[in-house]
Amino acid sequence: MCIRDRSKGIKNARELRDMEENEIIKKLGIVGKRLQLELKGHRCLPIEKNKKSKKEIQVSRSFGTPITKLEDLTQALATHAIKASEKMRSQNLQSSNIRVFARTSKYSSQNYQRSAHRKLTNATDDTNNILKIVVELSKEIYNPEYKFSKAGVLMQDLTNSEYLQQSVINYKSQKVLKKSTNLMKTIDLLNKRFNNNAITWAITKNPQSWKMNKNFLSRSSTTDIEQIPTIVK
């Protein structure tokens, strides 16, 4: 097998197979990465199945009391991010573009809406990774001069989790991904078996001023209304 495009410095299939991960991605992108996997005997998904889906997962909420503090906005967005992450994992999806937004009430004399996003090199469904990004983004959209009435998190540029797992070549990256996947599966399993709050993150503990608008409360006597945002596919 010969490689026609010698401008990339690759003369044959053997060189492509033995090339370092960073080098092949830089020269040939994800297509080259897939070719290398095939040469090493790893089955890859068909190219047409690897296109990023246009679908997004959004979790948002209107607040019963307007938010004026950064810590409250961050906490609310973190809670949304946890729900969005769980939703992605339940559908075997991962996001490479995480977006947050916050706005004032449309009935208020104040008119302010802001969003920020972060593009990722590698898609993820790991709540720990997503929370770190959301915390950073919350600082970008916060403005102490406004009272926020609604905020949300969007998981965009979704890809299939199976494809990401098959695309990881580096052994160290494989170990990290496997550890992350097992941790998230364990957390989801425990929360499903016991309740939604069996295992959670410290940043979402004891929410105060950003309680959900009563118009959206669940009537279920077994539901913790603090943890039920609106989920839109």
Higher model confidence: residue 103 or residue 223? 103
pLDDT, tens only, 22-63: 777 777 766 677 677 767 766 665 544 444 455 899 999 999
Q: Residue 173 — very low, low, confident or very high, per pLDDT cuts 50/70/90?
A: low
% of residues, the chain, pLDDT over 70: 65
Residues 116 and 213 reside in one and the same domain? yes
SS3 119: strand
Domain-embedded: residue 124? yes
200 to 78, 179, 195: CA distances (angstroms): 11, 18, 11
Residues 77 and 17 reside in one and the same domain? no
The pLDDT of residue 106: 87
CATH number at residue 148: 3.30.1490.100
Domain count, the chain: 2
Domain-embedded: residue 62? yes
Domain-embedded: residue 3? no
The pLDDT of residue 165: 52
**Which range (17-21, 105-109, 151-155) has the least confidence?**
17-21
Show the domain range for 36. Answer: 10-44
Q: Residue 218 — very low, low, confident or very high, per pLDDT cuts 50/70/90?
A: very low
Residues 26 and 61 reside in one and the same domain? no
Domain-embedded: residue 51? no
**Which range (17-21, 69-73, 126-130) has the least confidence?**
17-21
Query: Whole-model pTM?
Result: 0.65
Instruction: Output the average pLDDT for the chain.
Output: 76
